[in-house]
Amino acid sequence: MPEEPVLHPLKKVPTHVAIIMDGNGRWATSRGLPRLAGHRAGTENLRRIIRASVEFGVKYLTLYAFSTENWDRPRDEVEGLLHILEDVIDKELKELDQEGVRLQHIGHLEHLGPKLIEKIKHAIDLTKNNDRLVLNLAFSYGGRDEMICVIKRMIQDGLKPEAIDEAMVDRYLFTAGTPDPDLIIRTSGEIRISNFLIWQGAYSEWYFTPVLWPDFDRQEYHKALVAYGKRERRFGRVSSLKTVPCKNENAG
């Protein structure tokens, strides 16, 4: 196996990185393989991106694995994805725990089946005290659905309109207790948010790359973080960078 290249130190590291892992199906199709082979290749890539996150100093990593709309895909593909998720938990949980990764789930569990639900809950409980990296797995997740859940729970709790502000909404999100993503990466060349973290990502920096997810390796990840480090985050405010006034060519 070739040695990993030495990468330059990062000047600025985002606390929270979120990734839309796109392109598994196209990766497989381009190689004459079934789509599930692409999903398995994408799953194999999780390991190196998680390790790279720890190496680079990222504290929170959110991965968009399966949306609420993905349930409408062909049944054999959906069942294959659920099997892959179960397989990943079985094979990777022990090592992730040893590496200090805390697993969390955002989205809905009720559609996943009792056996898989139990494994996810066990993984969350086993790793709950780890603090090297918090890994949020967005599976059966959708941003609009999340906001509907927030509204319903607020109504159920009897909140009055004057009690509702941004901080209150944050408490009701699936990601409660997690800082908003500083950087959202989407692989495969698609340029859209696809119903992902629509509240939390309001002021996130975005990085779009044509690289398909199974090929998005440590070097590509580093390139995304380098690009992030060159940006100025203004959150709707005026730039703090000093500007040089234009020379008045009519001045005498």
Catalytic residue among 22, 24, 45, 182: 22
Whether the Cβ atoms of residue 239 and residue 68 lie closer than 8 Å to each other: no
Cα separation, 80 vs 35, whole angstroms: 10
Going by C-alpha positions, the residue among 64, 202, 63, 68 that lies closest to residue 145 is: 68
Determine whether 22 is an active site residue: yes
- H or E element that contains 104: strand 101-106
**Is residue 217 among the annotated active site residues?**
no
Please name every residue paired with 106 in a beta bridge, in sequence order, or none if there are none: 138
Between CA 180 and CA 92 the distance in angstroms is 26
Catalytic-role residue among 45, 70, 87, 165: 70
- H helix count then E strand count, the chain: 7, 6
Active site residues: 22, 70
